[in-house]
Amino acid sequence: MLLPLTSGHGFNIRIKPRPLASMPRALASTTGSGTADAALNDDAWKVRGERGVSFVTGEAFYRAESCAGRDLAVLVAALHRRRTGRLRVLDVMGGSGMRGARYFAQADADEVWVNDGNMDLHYAVVYNMCSAAGLPVPWVQAGCATAATAWPAAVARDGMAGLGPSDQAATAATSEGGKVSGRSLRDLASHWEGLAQRLRLAGLARDVWQWDVPRPTGSCAEALRPGQLLTPAVMDAAADSKATACGLTGGESGGSGSSSSSRSNVPGPSSYRNLGLTEAQLEEEPTGRHRRIRISHADANRLLTNCYMRESYYDLVDVDSFGSETMHFPAAIDAVRYGGLIYLTSTDGFTTSGKRPARGLAAYGSYARATPWANEQGLRMIIGSAVREAAARGVTLTPVFSLYSYHGPVFRVMLRATRSAEWPAHHYGFIGHCFVHGDNYVVGWRQLGKATCRCEARGRRPTHGPPNAVRGMETANSTTVTSRGTGMDANDVPSSACTSPSSPRGIHGHTRSRELDSRSSKAGRLGDPGQTEDSWDSGAEDGPATATQLVISGPLWTGPLHDAAELQAMAAEAARRGWTGFGLDVAAAPNLQNRVKSSRNVRPLEELLELLLEEADPRLPPGFFSIDESVARRLVRPPPRDGLIAALRQEGFAAARCHLEARAVRTNACMADVLRVAEERLGIPQRRQR
């Protein structure tokens, strides 16, 4: 059966559809007659917009509030492409393919392989990826000029990544597009699928659809402006020139008067199936002359392992898993190129918050307890699990950024993989929390048996003495410790009111001193340069046997969550692209219409990057203080967040906002110092202890 598709511009194209048996179950029924349109979900094929890229969701789950996580990933990918000159992306759980479309259109990826085990999403993935690549668009129905909105929203020009428009421009452009029937877009995806080369790669049981797309040059490259959402009016005005420049006239499209020179910039439809590449070249990495799209529906672990076995490594491996599916971590590490990136996701808030510690032990190798900073605990569990898996393979993973989103919840971490026999073992340990005093401690492996908070036994004194003085243990024979291996002098940060714990090192109040004796002449902070767990003496002091037991979670990542230098580069790139606001059009997220302030669900991109940069201060330890919980419980009223941060900085402490919780403070001051500063500088007295 041939379906004649006649456009309003005289292009006659005849498409032979696939047999129903070879089509995805959910879409096969739409090719029949009678109730075909009724069987197709028009809402699933509604054209949406995100940072100027148009897409459809198909039957895939889509959450508009997750735009920030995709924004950050695209920025990192674009920076990697610019630095290394290449970018191959493997999205093994791609859903509708809209993330892959953004990588292709906005990060100028040389290759994007989108995989999802659900075959019912096939045509949605085809539509999103091919529209991002700028494949020729046949007018799929007579009089359906509004199908022009199916054109890509952001297409690379002359090898440069497209610059997304501002939120207002994206919203205005999208609203001009008009309504496109889902059947029309599905037929368009079917046409694009016919242009693909179907491969059967060794080791994979299912076919792989591949398009090798020439890089546009000349007039065709300028046919689409970067970040432009093409409307019917724009398409009508540019149709003739676009057809001539891009080779859509003549024999390829059923018209007449074709010109070989006019098609020299971008070959016609058949050329996407065969660019003169041999069978072996079809499996090799794409060259600089063309870009590649691959779509498959294989098991994620099988695909990752297949790439490793074929020694086909990717610069960015995106694993957008659901729940706590850490089973994909080892294979993802095997498939990433040295110097490349791994983007990991988890949505299991119950496990990471300590509600299901046995599950956390099985999935992440970490026994999580319920703590006031459980959201951060989830990020550290994911990083710690991946870091440990990578270390067994001679690979070191370091965080580029970490992102927690309240909706879901969703935990995302971007990690950079480097080849190294050494791994940051000093950042892989335990974190303890004292529910009596509200303080947090990083606990080393050898100190687990004596992990107690000694603040209660030592007494809590105001910090009016010199930073080098030992609280409750005045002695001249003391040595200072530095802040997280930064080489800071003890005078740079005031001492904490909390005395040294019995075994773990305190992480609030980094300049605490320790008394030296013959046993602790090598005393130092576990994690400082030149210090190891064996050279750090616990130096247990005598004291009353009333020390508070710590609630300990781990092992997990205890190091920094972000790379400050990378975040600065990402902020500069976002500013260059004009990426501001929430990045969504009103149709995709009507709840954001007329929104000015951010919330725990969504934040403007510029505000989010600013928050992450504050958190990247190397002086800040793990954990945070919730103002409405931990702090307010000990004061007569909650202090203002920004006022408390300013007061702590005036006292010489490091203090910052927290992206995980709006009403929280990160600081290297212990709780006693926080309460003292709130009382002395903000005039908020402490509650009397009963």
Helices (H) and strands (E) in the chain, counts: 20, 24
Q: Which residue matches tokens 């492409």?
A: 81
pLDDT surpasses 50 at 163: no
In this structure, are 124 and 268 located in the same domain? yes
CA 470 – CA 512 distance, rounded (Å): 7
Give the model's pLDDT for residue 600: 65
Give 607's pLDDT tier (boundaries 50, 70, 90).
very high
Give the model's pLDDT for residue 62: 87
The residue from 549, 564, 583 where one domain ends is: 549
CA 12 – CA 4 distance, rounded (Å): 7
Residue 378, in any domain of the structure: no
> Secondary structure of 495-537 in the HEC alphabet?
CCCCCCCCCCEECCCCCCEEECCCCCCCCCCCCCCCCCCCCCC
In this structure, are 525 and 631 located in the same domain? no
Residue 452 burial (C-beta neighbours within 10 Å; 0-12, 13-18, 19+): buried
Residue 569 burial (C-beta neighbours within 10 Å; 0-12, 13-18, 19+): middle
Residue 32, in any domain of the structure: yes
What is the percent of the chain with per-residue pLDDT over 70, rounded to a whole number? Answer: 62
Range from 147-156, 212-221, 381-390 that averages highest in pLDDT: 381-390
Give 677's pLDDT tier (boundaries 50, 70, 90).
very high
| Partners of residue 430 on adjacent β-strands | 443
Give 479's pLDDT tier (boundaries 50, 70, 90).
very low
pLDDT surpasses 50 at 260: no
In this structure, are 629 and 545 located in the same domain? no
In this structure, are 635 and 499 located in the same domain? no
Give the model's pLDDT for residue 37: 44
Give 248's pLDDT tier (boundaries 50, 70, 90).
very low
Give per-residue pLDDT as tens, 613-667: 999 999 999 999 999 989 999 999 999 999 999 999 999 999 999 999 999 999 9
Write the DSSP string, 219-265. Answer: HHHTSS-TT----HHHHHHHHHHHHHHHT-SGGGTT-S---TTTTSS
In this structure, are 523 and 664 located in the same domain? no
Residue 592, in any domain of the structure: no
Give per-residue pLDDT as tens, 108-153: 999 999 999 999 999 999 999 999 998 887 653 333 444 334 333 3
pLDDT surpasses 90 at 264: no
Give the model's pLDDT for residue 215: 81
pLDDT surpasses 60 at 452: yes
**Both tokens of residue 645?**
């941060």
Owning domain of residue 534: 435-549
Task: Name the pTM for this structure.
Answer: 0.75
Residue 473 burial (C-beta neighbours within 10 Å; 0-12, 13-18, 19+): middle
Give per-residue pLDDT as tens, 46-91: 888 899 999 999 999 888 889 999 999 999 999 999 999 999 999 9
Give per-residue pLDDT as tens, 493-531: 333 334 333 444 445 544 333 232 333 333 333 333 333
pLDDT surpasses 70 at 229: no
In this structure, are 127 and 238 located in the same domain? yes
Give per-residue pLDDT as tens, 323-364: 777 899 999 999 999 999 999 999 988 888 888 999 999 999
Say how many domains are in the chain. Answer: 3
Give 391's pLDDT tier (boundaries 50, 70, 90).
very high
Give 668's pLDDT tier (boundaries 50, 70, 90).
very high
The 10 Å Cβ neighbour count of residue 172 is: 15
3-state secondary structure of 431: strand
Burial 86-112 (b: 16+ CB within 10 A, else e): ebbbbbbbbbbbbbbbbbbbbbbbbbb
Give per-residue pLDDT as tens, 543-566: 444 678 899 999 999 999 999 999
- On the CB side of 414, CA atoms within 13 Å amount to 23
Q: What is the dihedral of CA 396, 399, 404, 409, to 10 degrees?
A: -10
The residue from 255, 289, 320 where one domain ends is: 320
**Both tokens of residue 520?**
């602790």
- On the CB side of 603, CA atoms within 13 Å amount to 20
Give the model's pLDDT for residue 527: 36
Residue 388, in any domain of the structure: no
pLDDT surpasses 50 at 586: yes
pLDDT surpasses 90 at 446: no
Give yes or no for a contact between 515 and 531, defined as CB atoms under 8 angstroms apart.
Answer: no
Residue 580, in any domain of the structure: no
| Partners of residue 131 on adjacent β-strands | none
Residue 429, in any domain of the structure: no
* Over residues 595-610, mean pLDDT: 79
Residue 447, in any domain of the structure: yes
Give yes or no for a contact between 215 and 289, defined as CB atoms under 8 angstroms apart.
Answer: yes
Give 106's pLDDT tier (boundaries 50, 70, 90).
very high
CA 107 – CA 300 distance, rounded (Å): 23
31-45, 209-223, 278-292: which has the minimum mean pLDDT? 31-45
In this structure, are 543 and 678 located in the same domain? no
Distance (Å) of CA 475 to CA 490, 517, 542, 626: 16, 12, 16, 35
Range from 164-168, 212-216, 564-568 that averages highest in pLDDT: 564-568
Give per-residue pLDDT as tens, 172-202: 444 344 456 788 889 999 999 999 999 999 8
The pLDDT mean for the chain works out to 73
In this structure, are 16 and 137 located in the same domain? yes
Which residue did the predictor score with more confidence, 311 or 524?
A: 311
Residue 136, in any domain of the structure: yes
* Over residues 410-416, mean pLDDT: 97
What is the percent of the chain with per-residue pLDDT over 90, rounded to a whole number? Answer: 47
The residue from 282, 297, 320 where one domain ends is: 320
**Domain CATH number, residue 668:** 3.30.56.70
